[in-house]
Structure 1
Amino acid sequence: MLEKLLTWDRETFIYLNSLGIEKYDHFWSFATNISTWIPLYVLFAYLLLTKKPNKEDWRKFATVFLMLIFVLALTGITKEWVGRLRPSIDENINTLIRIVKASNGFSFFSGHSAFSFSLTTIIVLFLKHKYKWVWVFYIWPFFLAFSRIYVGVHYPVDLITGATVGILSANLFVAIYLRFIAHDSSLSHL
């Protein structure tokens, strides 16, 4: 079973990575960089703290911050524990793929995927009753995850696992927020 999954993972990665077109490499290198998306993070903070932010808004903001620290720490620990090589540095595969952005370190699971899905999910959960259109933000983590295949640094299972960890982490931190941090009983609709 595991062998079949890893074979699917490798073959799917090679196929998707091979779809890349050289003239778009610079765009995807730019898009895959977490710091490229700083304006989006500012927008998230603005939406969370719009108008006159009250104590609950600041508590939500702190919850988001703590969740991101948790996700980043969990990602780092898991990468070191699992020790899966990135496709771009794995000698068994790196001659078969397009490497747009070389990256050192381990691959499983994707920190970009976990970060973007956790941040998007917690923002959506906190703001879905205030802004009905907030679900559109999920375009970003899907786009960012695909960019990691395009540039040659993550397998699909790395991204799927990262997304799952991110979504579960966001739900966990919203539950913690509602149980232990929120002081407004009207917030139970989250």
Structure 2
Amino acid sequence: MNTLDRTLFHLINNWGSRSSYLDAVGIFFAEMSPYLLAAFLIFSWIRNRNYPEKRGILLIAALSFAVSEVLAKLMGKFYYHVQPFVTLEANQLIAKDVNNSFPSDHTVLMVSFLFVLFLAGSSKSKWLYLCWAFLASIARIFVGVHYPSDVLVAALTAIAVGSVCYYSLRRVRWLREFVDWLSNMEKKLVHRRT
């Protein structure tokens, strides 16, 4: 697996530093995706103020991330390896502290949220969520800060947890009640400020 991991890493990472445009795209997805996701989630929460079922999906996605991140941290306690740019000849395109790169936190974050949104989607545009998750994840290899195994394990963990969370929670009554409670608290806070 170690040899395959390195081979796949070089296959992707060797595209780095060939084109300034490709580098810019890779760096953008590797670094900016979490910020764009946060903005998108805030926008979605506000836009869906009158659709509690859609707000419920956002909460399921948040729970999926929380559980996936805990599992990822536990896995990181049992398996450790540093970023590939430390031990291999790599095109390191972004700055990164040296620590345990297994599994990829960025991938856990992106896949946790976007896979649940994909499952809940009803139009063909839902596939854009998977494309975004894939590009954000593969970009971490492209910029030289993660091995493919870091990304693959993180993605599989997030997909498994996201599937369980979505299919077990999407119709539970307490989730709807919790969304209603949050929405009422939100209205009270907005009312106080106006």
Q: 1:97 aligns with which of 72, 90, 97?
A: 90
Say if 2:48 and 2:55, in contact at 8 Å, map to a contact too: no
Mapped to 1, the partners of 2:130 and 2:170 lie a distance apart of: 23
Q: Could you list the per-position Cα deviations for residues 22-46 of structure 1 after superposition, in whole angstroms to 9, with x for gaps in the alignment?
A: 524454333211x444344433454
**Structure 2 residue ranges without an equivalent (≥5):** 178-194
TM-score calculated relative to the size of structure 2: 0.75
Match of 1:76 in 2: 73
Aligned partner of 2:50 in structure 1 is: 53
Q: Distance in 2 between matches of 1:175 and 1:26?
A: 37
- Report the equivalent of 1:6: 2
Counterpart in 1 of 2:59? 62
Q: Which has the higher helix share?
A: 2
Specify which of 144, 156, 159 is matched with residue 164 of structure 1.
156
Kept after mapping to 2: 8 A contact 1:79/1:109 = yes
Q: What is the rounded CA distance, in whole Å, between the counterparts of 2:33 and 2:136 in structure 1? A: 11
Task: Specify the alignment match of 2:27 in structure 1.
Answer: 29
Could you tell me whether the CA contact under 8 Å between 2:33 and 2:136 is conserved in 1? no
CA distance in 1, matches of 2:77, 2:38: 28
Kindly provide the amino acid, as one letter, of the partner of residue 15 in structure 1.
L
Q: Structure 1 stretches of 5 or more lacking a match?
A: 185-190
1:38-187 residue pairs with structure 2 within 5 A?
A: 38-47=35-44, 50-90=47-87, 93=88, 96-103=89-96, 104-126=98-120, 128-129=121-122, 131-178=123-170, 180=172, 181=174
Once the two structures are superposed, residues 44-88 of structure 1 have per-residue CA deviations (whole angstroms, 9 ceiling, x without a partner) of 454466454344333333222222222222222222321122112
TM-superposed CA distance for 1:178, in Å, is 3.3
CA RMSD, 1 decimal: 2.6
Is the CA contact 1:49–1:57 (under 8 Å) kept in the aligned structure 2? no
Structure 1 consecutive aligned stretches of length 4 or more whose deviation exceeds 6 Å: none
Deviates further, 57-66 or 165-174: 57-66
- For normalisation by structure 1, the TM-score amounts to 0.76
How many residues are paired up? Answer: 173
**Aligned-residue identity in percent:** 21
